[in-house]
Chains A and B, each alone.
Chain A
Amino acid sequence: MKKRSLVLVTVDCLRADHVGFQGYSRPVTPNLDALAANSVIFSNAIVAGAPTYFSFPAILASRYPLALGRDVLGIAPHESTLATVLHDAGYATAAFLAGNPYLSRRYGYDQGFDRFQDFLSSDGSGPLPLGTTRGRFSKLNQLIQSATHRNGLLAGAYEELYFWYCQWRTAQQDLPMDTLRRYPAANVLVDEAKSWLNSLGEQPFFLWLHLMDPHHPYFPPEESFAELGAPRITARRARFLNSFWNRGDIGPERLRRYKSEILSLYDAGVHWVDKQLSRLVETLQNSQRWDETVFVVTADHGEAFLEHDDRYHSPTSLPEHLIHVPLLLHARELSGKRLSLQRPFSLIHLAPTLLDAVGVSAPDSFHGRSGWGEMSAGELSWEPAITECVDGCNNPAQADDRLRPRLMAVRDEELKLVVNFRESRDYLYDLRNDPGERMPLSPGQRTRERANLLQIARRHLLRTSENQNTDLRLRARLRELQQSGRMAGREASLS
């Protein structure tokens, strides 16, 4: 029997509540919505780690992000992934990743791919930073900044004046969105993917696309606004909005004034993804490969827009808007009607499920298990989904930043336990009555359920530490030693 092909599309920062097929009122994803009518929709797909660098070991290798030790980043050398397994099974494999540095060769994501294009420039050059200036005033600026920051009021006044000065300077440059954008837009990746697909013969393939269009700074293609029926935001305005949204010196109330425009930029990015994915689907249909392909769209994490006065996707909390992602799976035998699965589905189970769907065995190293059989029968029966990260680890490239306590969420259908190990506290939320997670239940409420979720958390900690793959851990640590320059060795001695 001919093996089936697999297309995995991961969209950075895509929230579940911002796609039409999961209830978003704005028409940002008409093509995916149409596809969803003949697909399996996992209504409660939950990432196993957030953000990107904690999410992808689970997506590609079905491994909890901290299972090799919280000091290990990325995919370990010789670790089994979707790509390595499918490559060994005779698949042609390719990855086109829109310039996320955490999904690069450096962190082992190229393993198993015949073709790996991460769109990262080798010299680190790129568009101008947001609303900043360079040149002869920078030293003077540093002196003024240092002097004024001795006093709180003066510091605030300085930051405000400096921000508006930078805006005035940069407003004189009329740069288009395409220049301001930090990552290649989805159309660039889909073009590359189409070329690659057209070069294939009859062998089955695994194609992975990672799209960054909804990721900040938000600079979507301008035609996306017109298609959305939304007021156009000029490149100049978008540059100002991104600069303002990025300010660390002001509070949420001032940021809120621009939230709706920021959301428009974000939604336009999502819409562009939707449009480009329809081109990819069309290519597969026109080449008569659609019926033999399992097509999956999901995300590595969501994005915050001041729900808890937070922005972006920092691993300092694990709210629903960060860990609840869309998951759409289209396969020929499951098409014909929409199948919506309600129970929480952890992305730790995605890779084994996809391998099962294409008829390839999953390795024993995978932590998750296949849901293909149950899904085909229309129901899932899983234990609650676990999400973990290193609390506050915003710069994982710095090894010390990973040596912090864990943050963990255990998510059931209606309850969610968040364990904050730094605070030695746990918070239980009733998602049915408090979907915004604003009022943790008091310690005396739902005690039995709280204890049950704590037991699951405990089993997870014990299982991952007892079953740690020390060989993979050692390989990953050695890779980091070489990359960090510590193997230059001048400082090394026996003492």
Chain B
Amino acid sequence: MDQYRTVNLPEDLCVAAEKFMTGRFESLEVLIGFLLQEVVKDDVSKFDQAEERMIEQRLKDLGYI
């Protein structure tokens, strides 16, 4: 991860986040990075997609699509 992007956040939100993360995260950047990683992590959609494919295949096997 060697490319970075600058974003603008409201100052009061940053102050509140810094209070929250005291002793938990090294910096605001680390906190936000952690949260974004959790948000984009997608362990579940692969299950959904596999299940949709399975049903479609069954319907194809039965000649209905």
Contact = CB atoms under 8 A, between A and B. Distances in A.
Interface string A477-489: 1100100000111
Interface string A457-495: 110011001000000001001100100000111101111
Nearest to A464: B48
B62 interface: yes
A184 B46 CA distance: 41
Contacts of A490: 24
A489 B47 contact: no
Given A481-B38, A489-B31, A492-B25, A455 B48 contact: no
A492 B34 contact: yes
Contact of A487 (B24, B44, B48): B24
Contacts of A474: 39
B29 to A, nearest CB: 7
Contact of A406 (B1, B30, B33, B51): B51
Interface in B29-65: 29-31, 33-35, 38-39, 43-45, 47-48, 50-52, 54-56, 58-59, 62, 64
Nearest to A451: B64
Given A71-B43, A403-B43, A457 B62 contact: no
A465 B48 contact: yes
Bin the interface of chain B by size: 20 to 34
B52 A494 contact: no
A421 B24 contact: no
B14 interface: no
A362 B29 CA distance: 41
A339 to B, nearest CB: 36
B24 A458 contact: no
A461 B33 contact: no
Contact of A454 (B1, B25, B58): B58
B24 A419 contact: no
A69 interface: yes
A481 B62 CA distance: 44
B51 A450 contact: no
A198 interface: no
A494 B33 contact: yes
A455 B59 contact: yes
A426 interface: yes
A121 interface: no
Contacts of A461: 48, 51-52, 55
A489 B59 contact: no
A494 B48 CA distance: 29
B51 A405 contact: yes
Contacts of B38: 477-478, 481
Contact of A493 (B30, B39, B51, B56): B30
Contact of A494 (B21, B30, B39): B30
A372 B56 CA distance: 35
A71 B42 CA distance: 10
A454 B61 CA distance: 12
A447 interface: yes
B55 A454 contact: yes
Interface in A381-435: 403-406, 419, 421, 424, 426
Q: Chain B CB within 10 Å — which of A403, A426, A461, A481 has the most? A: A461
Contact of B1 (A404, A421, A494): A494
A489 B24 contact: yes
A495 B29 CA distance: 12
A451 B58 CA distance: 8
A424 B47 CA distance: 12
CB-CB nearest 7 A-B residue pairs = A489-B24, A492-B34, A489-B25, A451-B64, A494-B33, A458-B55, A69-B44
26 contacts: A70-B47, A71-B43, A403-B43, A403-B44, A419-B54, A419-B55, A421-B50, A421-B51, A426-B58, A454-B59, A454-B62, A455-B59, A461-B51, A477-B38, A477-B39, A478-B35, A478-B38, A481-B38, A487-B24, A489-B30, A492-B25, A493-B30, A493-B33, A493-B34, A494-B30, A495-B1
Given A477-B39, A494-B30, 13 more contacts: A403-B44, A404-B47, A406-B51, A424-B54, A454-B64, A455-B64, A458-B55, A461-B52, A465-B52, A474-B39, A490-B24, A493-B26, A494-B33
Interface of A: 69-71, 403-406, 419, 421, 424, 426, 447, 450-451, 454-455, 457-458, 461-462, 465, 474, 477-478, 481, 487-490, 492-495
